[in-house]
Structure 1
Amino acid sequence: MARARSVLIVGGGSAGNTLAILLANSGVSVDLVESRPDWGVLGSGILLHGNALRVLRDAGVWPQVRDAGFAFDSIGILAPDGTVVAEQPDLHSGGSDLPSTLGILRPALQQILIDAVRASGTRVRLGCTVEKLDDQGEGAEAVFSDGTASSYDLVVGCDGIYSTTRESIGVTDRPEPTGMGVWRTLVPRPAELVRTDLAYGGPCHIAGYSPMSDDLAYALLVVDWHERDEADPADYAERMCAESATYGGLWPTIRAHITDPAAVHYTAFHRLLVEGPWHRGRIALAGDAVHVCPPTLAQGVAMSLEDAAVVAELLSSRDVWDDALLTEYRDRRMPRVQTVVDGSMQLAQWLREGNRQAAPALIARILTALIERP
């Protein structure tokens, strides 16, 4: 019997976990290393469009994701005072048999994927890092932080925006700040909140809220970054309340629950797109390690999940794992990812310029293109 192909995945976030599930389920021998001992994630909520849900269905976790999240098929456009300006149907980018959009808590999605990784037979090492990678032509050797070493047919770095795998193989691209950031928090879901509602304009570029589960909602304010990165985290709840003070709609109800500064997150938006090769020898990159964009299209995680799907499809369907295969992976992903990154940046620029009329057409065009499988 032929030896099972072996893959090391560096990073246990959405992309790494999904890749592990897909590969292990296809018969590949998979090791996954994650630097965080608790394998957890930070953050509030996340919106997943249909093309992301399609990958999660292929990974076998759609029933769990569906039950943990809150699905809807439209988006509300509001004036800053809360008046509904328009209600737009969302496109079914994953096909008509999946919701247009699903809100879910980031920790809930992570736990669903963790459970599936464990069930797949993937060997998981937590609190472990890769100290050295050595491409050996027909494979690669990894030296781990506990002093052990193992050889693999392929290593895939899914270790995020500040990827050490990317740095170790000599890819010099780095994430760059966009000058914008976002306040985020979770609050009890008002009964009338059953879709994403976004207000463009007012003191912030975007003020919005989305259901994340039957019980919880996610509120966000997109603003210029300025020096907020130096703000005292103890003031975050007060700052978010102040930023949202003039917004109507459900904001008064939401503000009443923004009391714990530890529950408020403030992060900057970044841009990254590695335009050169996404691999060196038998060491490849995927997800946020090669592309990051502002969440103006809510497609960041979806693009990472699609990377995992394409890598798994190619590896499980080809007899030869070589430079040509990894080049095909990058060439197949690049046009789609570039469309999303460029579109997200264009929307961010329009928001900063106060030009919002062209945004719906751009969003519709990009989501329509994503209906086709990657």
Structure 2
Amino acid sequence: MTDLHPRPRSVLVVGGGAAGNAVTILLRRAGIAVELIEARPDWNATTGSGITLQGNALRVLRELGVWEHVERAGFSFGSVGVTAPDGTVLFASDDIRTGGEDLPATVGMQRPRLQRILIDAVRASGATVRLGTTAHSFTQDADSVTVRFHDGTEGRYDLVIGADGLRSATRTAIGIADRPEPTGMAIWRVAVPRPAGVTRTDLAYGGPAYIAGYCPTGENTIYAYVVEDNRDRASIPPDSYADEMRRLTAGYGGQWPDITRNITDSSKINYTWFDRHLVEGPWHRGRVVLIGDAAHCCPPTLAQGTAMSLEDASVLAELLTTRADGDGSLDDLLTEFRARRLPRVRTVVEASVQLGQWLLDGVRDADVPGLMERTMTALKERP
């Protein structure tokens, strides 16, 4: 059997989210031929409200060469506040700079803006991009993977990277049985105009919901969110989303009355359950490997989901582009990739779930600040 050389010459990336875009950019920089396919014709460039990017995410975005664009498009800040439901600020603390002292602790930005920045970088990299395209099957031999697409075409690649998200069809196709599980919570998100007094993330615990918070995403915008018990989504008509979110936010003071007045368009509100997911076994089968949400995801209680996906892309690209042929096998490299990522990802997933579980259980003396500080301090170390 032919040895699985660690440095591929041709790669298919399935999924054009943060992980897929990032690994495409990095592999193209090393001269590897990359084809990226994305199921959505709009490349997810128009959906989503806001995103919180902490320093370790910014570190990868700098590696990608897009940090300056992100800095201009977003809103940088360095602290987080905790308020009572009536808006009284209970305390504020400096965020840990997980990306190093030369980067902000946190940047909030509109999610579509980040996606468009990454799209532009993928286009500039010279990668082949096919939108509205999905993979139908993967057939492997010792030397390559033959991928049959849903439009009937085929391609042959040295490596396939499954970056197709939480409901990954790639994961299912290669026989990995792990599936995401709901945690019992759900989140309402919306983008609205930024009140003048909002210059950082503030969180209110308790009141009509478990958490009510907001994050500045630009000079004129924020995204606001409330976390509650998950409900049967079929029981909530989409055209009632604005009414439902206003009902939850109306019980909060401080900046919330200004925010609530602007929650008017149900089509701009996102309602999502919290899930937890971590593939416990190998993340690859032969020449097909999972990264990002396809391999792991966590509730947004630590705002680390995108950061973990970006770090996956960085580490995998590093391993693929710095190993010479003959320096071990591709199987060894992909095993090393999982071994390097798993402890860090597990720490984030378990801490994110625990923060939510304490709220679900009504634990009033939980060491929330301690858990958050320990987790974020660990993330200062390079992945």
TM-score bracket for the superposition, by shorter chain length: over 0.9
* Separation in 2, partners of 1:65, 1:20: 18
Unpaired segments ≥5 residues, structure 1 = none
What is the SS of the residue equivalent to 1:336?
A: helix
* Separation in 1, partners of 2:36, 2:322: 21
* Separation in 1, partners of 2:58, 2:259: 28
- Alignment partner, residue 301 of structure 1: 306
Deviation, structure 1 residue 230: 2.1
1:271 corresponds to which of 265, 273, 276: 276
Q: 1:361 to 1:168 in 2, by over 3 A?
A: same
- Alignment partner, residue 19 of structure 1: 23
What is the SS of the residue equivalent to 1:155?
A: strand
What is the SS of the residue equivalent to 1:183?
A: strand
RMSD: 1.2
What is the SS of the residue equivalent to 1:57?
A: helix
- Alignment partner, residue 341 of structure 1: 349
2:369 corresponds to which of 356, 360, 366: 360
Percent of counterpart pairs with the same letter?
A: 58
- Alignment partner, residue 124 of structure 2: 119
Q: How many matched pairs? A: 372
Structure 1 contact 49–100 (Cα < 8 Å) conserved: yes
Structure 1 counterpart of 2:193, one-letter code: P
Structure 2 contact 211–226 (Cα < 8 Å) conserved: yes
Structure 2 contact 88–254 (Cα < 8 Å) conserved: yes
| CA deviation map 1:75-107 (0-9, x unaligned) | 011011000000110000000000101101111
- Alignment partner, residue 188 of structure 2: 183
2:335 corresponds to which of 323, 327, 340: 327
* Separation in 2, partners of 1:346, 1:359: 9
1:1-374 to structure 2, matched below 5 A, reads 5-41=9-45, 42-320=47-325, 321-355=329-363, 357-374=366-383
Structure 1 counterpart of 2:382, one-letter code: R
* Separation in 2, partners of 1:54, 1:122: 23
Structure 1 counterpart of 2:273, one-letter code: A
Bigger mean CA offset, 57-66 vs 4-13: 4-13
* Separation in 1, partners of 2:50, 2:11: 30
What is the SS of the residue equivalent to 1:102?
A: strand
* Separation in 2, partners of 1:351, 1:100: 26
| CA deviation map 1:89-143 (0-9, x unaligned) | 0000000000101101111000000000000010101111111111212221111
Structure 1 counterpart of 2:12, one-letter code: L
Structure 1 counterpart of 2:370, one-letter code: A
Give the TM-score normalised by structure 1: 0.97
Structure 2 counterpart of 1:174, one-letter code: R
What is the SS of the residue equivalent to 1:277?
A: coil
Deviation, structure 1 residue 228: 4.7
* Separation in 2, partners of 1:118, 1:192: 38
Q: 1:4 to 1:367 in 2, by over 3 A?
A: closer
What is the SS of the residue equivalent to 2:227?
A: strand
Deviation, structure 1 residue 229: 4.8
